[in-house]
Structure 1
């Protein structure tokens, strides 16, 4: 028999064992934490002394945290607390807000514009240092840097969930801020991390997604995406397949890259998409220009169309793209050529005989190409001298401080997403857009209404000849 030990010694022994176990777990994760820390330091303009540590989000009890924070019905008191948390955040910086509004108004002095362009650091980055020791999902989800929205504004938003696919390969901090802006608990999010991305980037994106086990995940079959090639389409297929598999509730599939910014709130987007009644939003024109980028003959002798890689597709259209025989035939036919990703959905959408859900009910005229311009804000320029930001990529101007008036006034209510908005180019421009977007969300929680409805698009020939879908 074992000798009977005093109670105090037993308790002391248990405490020592627990302490040794904690130290072991800490050492086990130390290398991962350090590598993620170094990764973030090397990929941002933030002072490296401010990024000594990085949050590690424990996987235990994640589902419980999510259900507590995002899924349980809120009482009237809880709703008031939620609205207060949206209204109160780090984005409510009055002095900075005034600077942004001056720039957005288009009347800023040249000295203010120049000073704003030269700002090299972002203002609203989550405090990874102080939160690293208590880096639980609970603390992360409740941070006020850029608040996560935990409750829809109204029933119409709640009952119209969306599916987002974000294709990324670098710059976690931009992705994390974009995700905060986009997130709503009723939506679904597939993050396609490029197969060639750094392992540390994949790890930290996975840690973020783990805090949302019900509706956020990484693509299960990531692709090594090459711009302009068939792999772009395969990346979309990867997220589409996962999203169709995870839920049948969502209404539209929306694809984004990591360097874009929404020019609408989720409520405004839902308000607009409801009015489309299932019609897809895809730009495209019958083209003979890029003959060497497409096969001479398409299956079913379909007409050739080309457009952008951006689209809004209803749920049934995504199922059709993944499963229909003509979709498989078209995919095989286009695979060896350039610009597959700019033609696949356009061919399905604009050939009426395909009966693509949400596609055209009649073969379109060229006018329809212009009517779908709501999809993206892009400033196409083939000469850098015509680019007001002074920087161009693939014939598209990079968005910066000089574009703030266009984005918040000319494009607001006409365009859905701003394209070519790199996080490191003009940090202040991105931060101003965060403030602008947050102010719109605050107003929605106070009024319960969306501010814009995209009447020009709804009344366009594109929508007139679109094929509506049951369930909308």
Structure 2
């Protein structure tokens, strides 16, 4: 009886080995003949975006728009100026209030990524600060585009925002264990210190909430990614601990911002005519941007370094401190990921990967040697291009992680096509990853 059982076991093992061998040969042949065929893996079709997700039929062609085809762009521009179309793609705040009553259903219906798409991404979590004051739909589509369960997100809603905006965003964030409202919100004032304080408060919350994340990225509600999460992770990996942000010598025309005392009066920043004391420790003040990509050590320095604390206090009565504080810290010796203050280490916004912004005075016609980038295909707000669908092809050729600024009320197609492009790319990366594993 024992021999019979041993014979059965031996036969079963032989059959198993044979079947596995046949499967392996079949897989190798499939890979060799055609490359990995993603139909052999789960398609995750329920995570793909369709026109139905935006409340419209197939009335514009995102693939053609992203490729810059003139006929598709002309059609998109016409649609975006049509009141009926713009109204049809708007999501009212009431939708979010009702939909978030059932968080599981909300996450599924809005197609949030429910699992890390690769081990590489799971092992490299990111921390995001998002500062918002209006346009809930813009915010929610941004969150959906950058969401991954291994990342962590702090959302700061301006204290003076409408109560409905605060309530809706709080309802959305409550549906995710890794998304939370900032512990201390402030009244944000354009070009004044509270804009920096909003990010500082999220920095502290994120730093204390998790020890796992590798890099900090700050956003506003009208930003949008140009890369998938996997692409972002790989680009940050390649930095090898360095930071990437605009940091360069301050132009003479901007020095009044840091040499004169400014105060908030009736909700606006105003100069007092009083001269400021020199910066602490004779720190060279560098010019930069409000938006940064920095490692965890940089954030720790911001929160704990006594030199930086002194610089922060000195900066509180300057004009637009968000456009020099981070840039100056980046050039302070001893700050993790920083560079030397010598001007040879200056980095412009076009060379940093943090943010792509089209400033009106740097735009120009195609082929112009003086222009930094082609003309805006949308419209301008405070001399910044609010992107149109016609900007997408150029934007996706750049190395930046994010772009500013987008407005669903101005051009919903630009956001929708970019969001759809990134989702399709992320799912293609997922299939490619499984393919490499199977075909190794």
Shift of 1:384: 9.3
> Are 1:432 and 2:417 an aligned pair?
yes
Q: Distance in 1 between matches of 2:307 and 2:414?
A: 44
Within the alignment, does 1:291 sit opposite 2:255 as a pair?
A: yes
The answer to whether the aligner puts 1:186 opposite 2:150 as a matched pair is yes
Instruction: Count the aligned residue pairs.
Output: 363
- Aligned: 1:137 with 2:116: no
Stretch deviating more after TM superposition (203-212 or 189-198): 203-212
Pick from 222, 225, 248: which aligns with 1:259?
Answer: 222
In the alignment, which residue of structure 1 is the partner of 2:46? 85
Question: Do the aligned residues in 2 keep the contact of 1:162 with 1:252 (CA within 8 Å)?
Answer: yes
Q: Distance in 2 between matches of 1:131 and 1:242?
A: 26
Q: Summarize the Cα distance change of 1:259–1:130 in structure 2 as closer, same or farther, 3 Å threshold.
A: closer
- Bigger shift: 330-339 or 131-140? 131-140
1:22-421 matches, cutoff 5 A:
83-87=44-48, 96=58, 99-109=61-71, 111-118=74-81, 119-121=85-87, 123=89, 132=98, 135-143=101-109, 145=110, 147-212=111-176, 214-289=177-252, 290-295=254-259, 297-351=278-332, 354-361=333-340, 363-365=342-344, 368-369=347-348, 372-382=351-361, 387-389=375-377, 391-408=379-396, 410-411=397-398, 414-421=399-406
Equivalent-residue separation in structure 2 for 1:159 and 1:135 (angstroms): 32
Deviation of the 1:319 alpha carbon: 1.1
Structure 1 residues 274-283 or 125-134, which shifts more? Answer: 125-134
Tell me the SS of whatever aligns to 2:161. coil
Once superposed, what is the RMSD of the aligned Cα atoms?
3.0
1:361 Cα shift? 4.5
Say which is worse superposed, 362-371 or 256-265, in terms of deviation.
Answer: 362-371
Deviation string 1:185-228 (CA, Å, 9 cap, x unpaired) is 0110000000111112111111111111x311101111111121
Distance 1:330 1:319, change over 3 A: same
> 1:254·1:312 contact (CA, 8 Å) conserved in 2?
yes
Q: CA deviation at 1:288?
A: 4.2
Return the offset for 1:90: 5.6
TM norm structure 2? 0.75
Question: Residues 137-188 of structure 1, C-alpha deviation per residue, up to 9 Å, x if partnerless?
Answer: 1111211x4x111111221110111001000011111111111111110110
When you count strand as a share of all residues, which structure comes out higher? 2
Residue 298 of structure 1 and its aligned partner are, at CA, apart by 1.7
Separation of aligned partners in 2, 1:130 and 1:362: 47
Match of 1:30 in 2: none
Contact 1:167–1:193 under 8 Å retained in 2: yes
Cα offset, 1:347, TM superposition: 1.1
Asked if the contact 1:251/1:315 (under 8 Å) is kept, the reply is: yes
How many angstroms does 1:405 deviate by? 1.9
Secondary structure at the aligned position of 1:309 is classed as coil
Q: What is the distance in 1 between the residues matched to 2:334 and 2:394?
A: 37
For 2:282 and 2:96, how far apart are their aligned partners in 1? 61
Unaligned segments of structure 1, at least 5 residues: 1-79, 450-472
Secondary structure at the aligned position of 2:153 is classed as strand
Describe the shift of the 1:324–1:133 C-alpha distance in structure 2 as closer, same or farther (beyond 3 A).
closer
Tell me how far apart the structure 2 counterparts of residues 326 and 297 of structure 1 sit (CA, whole Å).
14
Deviations 1:108-159 (A, max 9, x none): 237425423324246485997699489311111211x4x1111112211101
Cα 1:315–1:113 shift into 2, 3 Å: same
Give the Å deviation of 1:311. Answer: 0.1
SS of alignment partner, residue 437 of structure 1: helix
CA gap of 1:230–1:362, structure 2 versus 1, over 3 A, is closer
**CA–CA distance in structure 1, aligned partners of residues 192 and 89 of structure 2:** 37
Cα 1:193–1:133 shift into 2, 3 Å:
closer
